[in-house]
Each structure stands twice: as C-alpha cells, then as structure tokens.
Amino acid sequence: AAPAAAPAPAAAAPSAPAPAAAAPAAAAPAAAAPVAAPAKPGAKVHAGPAVRQLAREFGVELSAVGASGPHGRILKEDVQVYVKAMMQKAKEAPAAAGGATGGAGIPPIPVVDFSRFGEIEEVPMTRLMQVGAANLHRSWLNVPHVTQFDSADITELEAFRVAQKAVAEKAGVKLTVLPLLLKSCAHLLKELPDFNSSLAPSGKAIIRKKYVNIGFAVDTPDGLLVPVIKNVDQKSLLQLAAEAASLAEKARTKKLSSDEMQGACFTISSLGHIGGTGFTPIVNAPEVAILGVSKATIQPVWDGKAFQPKLMLPLSLSYDHRVINGAAAARFTKRLSDLLGDIRTMLL
C-alpha cells in the first residue's frame, strides 16, 4: 500500500519541494496498478480502443487488470504492468524439474514438513538426475502419451543368439538381445517412417528423417543416460553389440561425449535384466516414440492343436499421439513381434 499512499503528501504540500515530489507522482499509475482492484465480475470495463488492442495482443482479459485511470479507466500502463507481473510470477515459480511444483498452470503439490511425522534424510539429487527430471517433466507435459502393449515370441531368436555365442566371443563381443532389438527397430523405422520423425515447431508438418540413429537407456549410479548409436541400419549385429557395450561402459564411467548422446530418432529402454511385465516409458521428445522391453518369460502359447512353451518378450511402445495414431502403433508392435519371431524376414 506504501507506493499508492506516498504521492498523497506531495500533492497536498504547496511548499517549494513540491516539484521534486512530482516525479514519483507521475509514475504513480504504473506503481499503483498491481494493487488496484480489478473489475468486479459482470462489471463494465472502461478502456479505450488502443488499450483493448494492446490487451488482445498480450492475450489479457481486461476484467483482470486493475484500473489506475480516472473514473476506473484502464490505461496502457495498467496492461503493461499486469503483463510484467504475470511474467514475474512465472519466473518465480519453481522450475518444472519434476519436483514439488510444476509449470503450465498446474496447481503445485502442497509443501509438506515430513519431519513432523518422523526422522528424515534429505539426499541431494545429482546434476544428471536434475537434468533428467526436467527433461522427462517437459516431455510429459508437452507430449500426449499413449502406450501400446504387445509381446513377441523370441524362442527362435534366443536359440539363434545362443548358437552365435561362440562367433560373437571370437569377435570379442557379447551378443545380447539389445543388438537384435536395435536391428529390428531400425528396419521398422524405414518401413514405417512416421516413427522416424518429429513434429515441426509450427505444429503443421512432420519432419521425416532419412537417417536411423537409435538411443538406448543405460542405468548408472548417477542417473539415467541415453547414448546414441548412429546409422544403426548400416551396421551388423556384431558391430552393434560392440558399439552398445562400448557406449554403455562410457556411460557408467562418465566418459560419454555430448555428441554420443545426441541425434537419436528413437529410443529403447530395456528392463529385461531386472524384471517386470510391462511399463510406460516416457517419450524422449522431440522423438515421437520409445520402446520399453521387460523380462522375457516362458508362457503357454496355443499353436492351434496344443499349448506350447514359448519364450515371450513383453513390449511397451509409448508414442506421441499428435503424430502417431493407435492403428499405426499396433502395426508397429505387430511387425516388431513378427520380426523378432523370425529375424529372417528382415532379409525379404
């Protein structure tokens, strides 16, 4: 209330210092606007055409703006002060880093003093965790997520992998399921190009990429990292196995370069070595899809005559619904299931 009250004595005083007090008085409308009461609901808003035009340009509802002009008239300065105040509030709001509060007008999670209920320990997040949290939060807020679930019969794929174990060891690499997933997904990104795309900044076009770079999530003590293998479609299974192992080791030892974590078109997140039957991975925007892989288990599968034990791999495909529709996602997981069921079909 002080800024609004300050000009009064200066206006009342006829003494010589009055001119010196005139400068604060001239600035009074701008200073008073934040504390001026906005119009009551349903009340008529008094503002000239230029002020209304300015409000439209800023997207401001004039009924929310305090009036400092004569007879409750809203001035240009009132609109400008209101906009500045709103921008300042946005800056002062805690960053959207997956913490207690969010952005985009979402009500914050109430702050709770957990020590009231018992002993606590506050553990600082690593810089990597903080950056990862901010990126995930941004993607979750901006991307309309949908997850398509499916499973693939990898009985023959596993038999092939085991059979090639000696060949891989001779080449100095370990052949896991990941290179086979990378190769299969690369094949599908070329077959179904909308999955190898990004939404243009304008929101009016889709940018299709002619290269196939795939990231894969690596769990490290400091947080999640996603190294990227470039030109996956041009590399052999053994090359992919070697590069994936090298990048994963770099991730765990904090030796990844920024270039080795950029340029992905698609991401694979595998929790198969831990367990689980499915999950909802968050799309790594501006990519439009991410594949989650869980632990393969033996399941009874009907072959038309009897139930047969099959090694089934759970698949979870999260996608950006602005670019990918449900039918396209179902086609992707169906084709991926077919490819993993018989990798020879990639040669056709």
Contact yes or no for 243/251 (Cβ under 8 A): no
Amino acid type, 249: E
Burial letters for 168-191: b for 16+ Cβ neighbours within 10 Å, e otherwise? beebebebbbbbbbbbbbbbbbee
The span from the CA of 314 to the CA of 311, in Å, is 10
Residue 157 contacts residue 345 (beta carbons within 8 Å):
no
DSSP character at residue 97? S
- Whether cis (ω within 30° of 0) applies to the bond prior to 14 is no
In the set 71, 137, 187, 321, the catalytic residue is 321
SS3 for 307-346 is EEEEEEEEEEEEEECCCCCHHHHHHHHHHHHHHHHCHHHH
Collapsing DSSP to helix, strand or coil, 39 comes out as coil
145 is catalytic: no
Burial of 194 (0-12, 13-18, 19+ CB in 10 A): middle
What residues act catalytically?
A: 321
